[in-house]
Amino acid sequence: MATEATHTHPMTQHQLELCSTVAEQIKSLTDERVVVFFHQGCPDGIGAAQLLRHALGHTEVILIPAFWDFSEEVIKSKLEKVGIAVVDEKVAIVEVDVVIPAAQELFNSACLHAKIDHHASQKDICLQNGGICIDNLCAAAIVADMFFTNQGKKLSNAMQRLLEVLDHKDRYTQEFRSSRTFQALWEGVFQSLRFMDSAETLLNELMDMDDGQSDLWISSKTVAGELLLAQRDAVIRNVLLKYVVLAKYNGVVCLVVNFDAYMAGEGCDYKTREKDRGNRAQIADILSSIFNMPVFIIATPEKEEEQDVYMISAGSSAKCELTGLEIAQQFGGKQGHRHFAGFCTSHDEFTERVALGEKLELTADNWKEVKQLLLSPDE
């Protein structure tokens, strides 16, 4: 029996009309070189970029990873590396899942400059000049609607299910946090969505699946993900919580994780992922979901000359008193998801503003007791 996708992508009539207009503008490109800047290292950004390239199969599409805080000089350098010395009427620019403030004037010189995003923190700049920002969908789901669903092209059930899980995961929704099935399928496909080549292969594979193939794919990936979830749970109990301390920030009890010590600690396949934003987001998401309190994930830059600052990821659940984005903004950060955002700050500023408690040695034996302690800490 076919597994029907149940998720719908809600858009207002204005958003539908805007998406249709922008999609037609992009699809009308023929001789121009289309450059797509996408959110670097983010499965949603990678998926959105690959879906866009698939939709524009007749056009040369160049995909360039980027972060919102890239300077105009960095963007020009990246364009030069792909043979574009000048942004003019022969070049079209699409920013998807990332909007780069410093490059807006440069991009506006292109024959077409389109913006497709969902980050609430970038909504104002994204909506300038007819950009699209829909904060109740992830970027990949928006692109799928624009170029497939809204064009009357049915996506396979497997593709719809993948987009549903990616949407909830990327936006850190309560539905994802409370659904073991969502989490299992996500774990089963995560590695394929981390890299451009594997993501392209996966999306091309899912595009043409029939109902039977979709059922088999969803089932097999969910089973594989369940095994990874079990491993993850063991890591949290036996390894990760050894590097957690209780803290207070602005009167709110929170958790602080020494990410460097965790990565250098006991070996475990689950935590061999690269030291990147995605890995820190995963840990912040897990801990904030378990304890319903904000989480700071602290890491240091690789370059020795930059190690006087912390790279910090702030995470939260729907029940937290402060959201990850609110915390990041209070430290000068400007972009992120509601429940996960990153920022940098000096060692001194962090220790002045966040009152750290003593390190907790947590093991599987005292897991339940420590969880209760964290949920009801002494004042």
Residue 170 has pLDDT above 80, yes or no: yes
Residue 378 binned pLDDT confidence (cut-offs 50, 70, 90): very low
DSSP 99: -
The Cα 216–Cα 291 span in angstroms is: 35
Between the CA of residue 91 and those of 11, 24, 33, 65, 370, what are the distances in Å? 30, 17, 5, 17, 57
Average pLDDT over residues 170-174: 80
pLDDT in tens, 181-215: 988 999 899 888 888 899 999 999 999 899 999 99
- Joined together, the tokens standing for residue 147 give 């170029």
Average pLDDT over residues 172-176: 79
pLDDT in tens, 92-101: 999 999 999 9
Please tell me which residue, 118 or 263, carries the higher pLDDT value: 118
Residue 172 binned pLDDT confidence (cut-offs 50, 70, 90): confident
Average pLDDT over residues 344-350: 91
Please tell me which residue, 170 or 221, carries the higher pLDDT value: 221
Shared fold status for 10-153 and 239-375: no
Question: Residue 379 has what pLDDT?
Answer: 33
- Joined together, the tokens standing for residue 149 give 């669903």
Question: Residue 371 has what pLDDT?
Answer: 55
The Cα 253–Cα 262 span in angstroms is: 21
Question: Residue 39 has what pLDDT?
Answer: 94
Please tell me which residue, 188 or 275, carries the higher pLDDT value: 188
Topology adopted by domain 10-153: inorganic pyrophosphatase (n-terminal core) (3.90.1640)
Domain borders along the chain are 10-153, 154-236, 239-375
List the one residue out of 141, 15, 32 whose CA is nearest residue 88: 32
Read off the pTM.
0.79
The Cα 353–Cα 248 span in angstroms is: 9
Residue 45 has pLDDT above 80, yes or no: yes
Residue 175 binned pLDDT confidence (cut-offs 50, 70, 90): confident
The Cα 47–Cα 123 span in angstroms is: 21
Average pLDDT of the residues of the chain: 84
Question: Residue 286 has what pLDDT?
Answer: 77
Neighbours of 35 (CB within 10 A): 23
Residue 270 binned pLDDT confidence (cut-offs 50, 70, 90): very low
Residues contacting residue 20 through CB under 8 Å, at least 6 positions apart:
146, 150
Residue 71 binned pLDDT confidence (cut-offs 50, 70, 90): very high
Percent of the chain scored above 70 by pLDDT?
84
Q: Could you please report the per-residue DSSP string of 289-321? A: HHH-S-EEEEE--SSGGGTTEEEEEEE--TT-S
Please tell me which residue, 317 or 80, carries the higher pLDDT value: 80
Question: Residue 359 has what pLDDT?
Answer: 60
* Sheet of strand 61-66, all strands in order from the earlier edge strand to the far edge: 61-66, 33-39, 91-96, 112-117, 132-133
Q: What are phi and psi of 256, to 5 degrees?
A: -125, 130
Residue 363 binned pLDDT confidence (cut-offs 50, 70, 90): low
Residue 274 binned pLDDT confidence (cut-offs 50, 70, 90): very low
Residue 4 has pLDDT above 60, yes or no: no
Residue 376 has pLDDT above 70, yes or no: no
- Joined together, the tokens standing for residue 363 give 């093991």
Question: Residue 261 has what pLDDT?
Answer: 78
Please tell me which residue, 56 or 301, carries the higher pLDDT value: 56
Domain 239-375 has CATH 3.40.1160.10: no
Residue 360 has pLDDT above 70, yes or no: no
Question: Residue 358 has what pLDDT?
Answer: 62
The Cα 293–Cα 373 span in angstroms is: 13
Average pLDDT over residues 9-28: 87
- Tell me if 120 sits within 8 A of 336, measured CB to CB: no
Question: Residue 202 has what pLDDT?
Answer: 94
Question: Residue 368 has what pLDDT?
Answer: 59
